[in-house]
């Protein structure tokens, strides 16, 4: 089968519904600064967390196709909701027809792999979007890989809108973060680690830390996903050779670029000049 996409080496694609994926991209670029990247945020349609399986799948597939059309051979879904609701279908159903040599990787599996070495009590909390929590993806994957670990999840439907609406430093954020941390911790007082199972949540890290008991570790996915990608590229030299090495990053958003760029610049600590794209 001949692919409709260019076979030339290209940047690595990183996708999220919005700003959250930047928390993953930032860590990936620390560990793998030599590669080129294209970041795509579907900010115009975020949050994904309350949307149906079908819609998250359709939006994510559009994003993957867009990144493939830009030449990317490897796409990271830097989004738990998309990883929970769309990744498997895309890997099993769509890739063989789009281009069996391209790859799409998610963030849930590397996080689950890492948690076994982190918890001591075997009681792990997860904060996620309603979609991620309802999908039970973490519960299922952790039960398979670490059957001794007990999972306590809590959905935080207000956290992504706080980030997307630039309210993460507001008193409103304090109210919702405290309420949700208390709700998770009330499920079990022996939880010793909490996974931030949504890539937007590191952008609320200071507030989450403030209301979480000090003895509880808060686990961000960025460093975990970055290490896992590094390992993947070592194990797959055929893919590594298809990733260009210029150290650049292009930013694309489905929102108005002038709305996206200022906040993205703060998150990644350098000036971002984003391009507006339309997904269909």
Q: Which stretch binds ligand DGL (CB under 6 A): 47-55, 60-68, 140-148, 244-252?
A: 47-55
Please, what is the minimum distance in Å from the beta carbon of residue 202 to ligand DGL? 10
Cα angle 74, 80, 82; round to 5: 65
Nearest Cα to 42, choosing from 24, 29, 61?
61
123-128 and 193-196 beta bridge pairing: parallel
161, containing H or E segment: helix 159-164
E-strand spans in the chain? 12-16, 37-41, 74-77, 103-105, 123-128, 150-155, 193-196, 217-219, 249-253, 275-276
110 binds ligand DGL (CB under 6 A): no
Please, what is the minimum distance in Å from the beta carbon of residue 20 to ligand DGL? 3
Q: Which of 18, 41, 71, 222 binds ligand DGL (CB under 6 A)?
A: 18
Contact code string over 195-234 relative to ligand DGL, x by CB under 6 A: ---xxx----------------------------------
Please, what is the minimum distance in Å from the beta carbon of residue 194 to ligand DGL? 15
Whether 156 is catalytic is no
Please, what is the minimum distance in Å from the beta carbon of residue 267 to ligand DGL? 12
Q: Which stretch binds ligand DGL (CB under 6 A): 5-13, 57-65, 79-87, 186-194?
A: 79-87
DSSP state of 218: E
Q: Which of 70, 80, 153, 212 binds ligand DGL (CB under 6 A)?
A: 80
Contact code string over 152-181 relative to ligand DGL, x by CB under 6 A: --------x---------------------
135 binds ligand DGL (CB under 6 A): no
Q: Which of 5, 13, 14, 20 binds ligand DGL (CB under 6 A)?
A: 20
Counting beta carbons within 10 angstroms of the beta carbon of residue 161, is it exposed (0 to 12), middle (13 to 18) or buried (19 or more)? Answer: middle
Q: Cα(199)–Cα(97) distance, rounded to whole angstroms?
A: 29
Q: Report the SS3 class of residue 163.
A: helix
Cα angle 89, 17, 64; round to 5: 45
Whether 96 is catalytic is no
Please, what is the minimum distance in Å from the beta carbon of residue 35 to ligand DGL? 22
Q: Give every CB contact of residue 81 below 8 A, 6+ residues apart in sequence.
A: 17, 48, 49, 51, 56, 128, 129, 131, 132, 198
Q: Cα(211)–Cα(213) distance, rounded to whole angstroms?
A: 7
Contact 80, 15 (CB under 8 A): no
Choice among 72, 198, 243, 249 that is catalytic? 198
The CB-nearest residue to ligand DGL is 49
43 binds ligand DGL (CB under 6 A): no
111 binds ligand DGL (CB under 6 A): no
Q: Which stretch binds ligand DGL (CB under 6 A): 25-33, 44-52, 208-216, 266-274?
A: 44-52
Active-site annotation, residues: 79, 198
User: Which residue ranges make up the site for ligand DGL (CB under 6 A)?
Assistant: 16-18, 20, 46-49, 79-81, 129, 132, 160, 198-200
């Amino acid at each position: 089968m001949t692919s409709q996409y260019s076979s030339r080496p290209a940047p690595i694609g990183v996708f999220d519904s919005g700003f959250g994926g930047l928390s993953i991209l930032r860590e990936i670029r620390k560990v793998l600064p030599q590669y080129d990247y294209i970041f795509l945020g579907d900010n115009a349609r975020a949050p994904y967390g309350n949307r149906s399986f079908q819609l998250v799948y359709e939006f994510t597939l559009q994003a993957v196709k867009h990144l493939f059309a830009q030449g990317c051979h490897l796409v990271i879904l830097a989004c738990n909701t998309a990883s929970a609701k769309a990744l498997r279908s895309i890997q099993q159903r769509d890739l063989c027809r789009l281009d069996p040599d391209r790859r799409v990787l998610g963030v849930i599996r590397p996080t689950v792999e890492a948690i076994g070495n982190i918890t001591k009590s075997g009681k792990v909390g997860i904060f996620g979007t309603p979609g991620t929590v309802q999908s039970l993806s973490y519960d299922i994957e952790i039960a398979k890989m670490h059957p001794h670990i007990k999972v306590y999840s809590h959905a935080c439907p207000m956290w992504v809108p706080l980030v997307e609406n630039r309210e993460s430093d507001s008193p409103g954020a304090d109210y919702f973060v405290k309420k949700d941390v208390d709700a998770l911790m009330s499920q079990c007082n022996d939880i010793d680690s909490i996974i931030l199972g949504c890539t937007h949540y590191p952008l609320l890290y200071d507030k989450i830390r403030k209301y979480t008991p000090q003895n509880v570790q808060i686990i961000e996915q960025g460093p975990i996903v970055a290490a896992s990608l590094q390992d993947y590229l070592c194990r797959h030299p055929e893919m590594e050779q298809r990733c260009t090495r210029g150290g650049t990053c292009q930013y694309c958003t489905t929102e108005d670029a002038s709305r996206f760029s200022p906040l993205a610049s703060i998150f990644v600590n350098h000036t971002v000049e984003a391009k507006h794209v339309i997904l269909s």
